[in-house]
Amino acid sequence: MSIQLDVIQQCGFLTRLPEDIQIAFCKQAKLVSIPANTLLFDCGSSCVTLPLVTEGSIRVFKQSESGREISLYRVTSDQLCIVTLSCLLGGDNYPATGVTESSVTAITIPDALFHELIGKHRQFRDAVFHLFSERVSGLMGLVNEIAFHKLDQRLAQFLVMRQPIINGSHQQIADELGSVREIVSRLLKQFEENNWITLSRKQIEILDPEALEEYSSDVR
């Protein structure tokens, strides 16, 4: 459905733009509601809109031919999807997959409006590239972790960042880290034997975050 100016106020990215740009959004953009666990885009699919999330979370990940996954990032309120941005700017198809983790409300910008605003309005262009730069920095951090940190250290840091209780299966954690369930389960069992965590069905309780933090930063 079409949107009104008050809807724009739900997206901080848009409220920082001049009123004439906001009015252009109201004329062409749409407000959509998407259920949880909905596939938004997949490898090879065409890109025709840019979603601006106002509520909920989108997980963007890469999947190998064998089915293994690694999470690249999440898109939440006032954030942009750099995969979508790069596809719109380059006219390419999607190189990754995006799925809603929860119910999502978003303002969708059609590609024609996106290119018009990028070309004619410096404020919009500067805001987009600023958010793009922030996202690229985050992806570089992910590359650094994968290339220079061992899986056991990355797992320890993952647990510290989500303490004190982590809900989810070992497979979900493996997908986040780009590994396989069997290895993650074995490492979690070792952490439990060290009395750093307690394992139960689809739940992990952090007992000693200091020990996990020290382990994750140990130079080996």
pLDDT at 40: 94
* 8 Å CB contact between 50 and 84: yes
Based on the domain organization, do 11 and 94 belong to the same domain? yes
Look at the chain and report how many structural domains it folds into.
2
List pLDDT tens digits, range 93-135.
999 999 999 999 988 888 988 898 888 888 888 888 888 888 7
Q: How do residues 154-165 score in pLDDT, each as one tens digit?
A: 899 999 988 899
The backbone torsions φ and ψ at residue 61, rounded to the nearest 5 degrees and listed phi first, read -145, 165
Question: pLDDT at position 102, please?
Answer: 92
Which structural domain range is residue 212 located in? Answer: 149-216
Question: What tokens appear for 39 in the block?
Answer: 């596939």
Q: Could you give the angle at which helices 151-161 and 209-216 cross, rounded to 10 degrees?
A: 140
Rounded to a whole number of angstroms, the distance between the first and last alpha carbons of the chain is: 55
CB 67 within 8 A of CB 111: no
Residues in the chain, overall count: 220
DSSP-assigned beta bridge partners for residue 105: 33, 55
The answer on 153 and 139 residing in a single domain is: no
Lowest mean pLDDT among 71-80, 140-149, 200-209: 140-149
Strands 97-100 and 58-63: antiparallel
With beta carbons less than 8 A apart as the criterion, state whether 58 and 101 touch.
yes
CATH code assigned at 60: 2.60.120.10
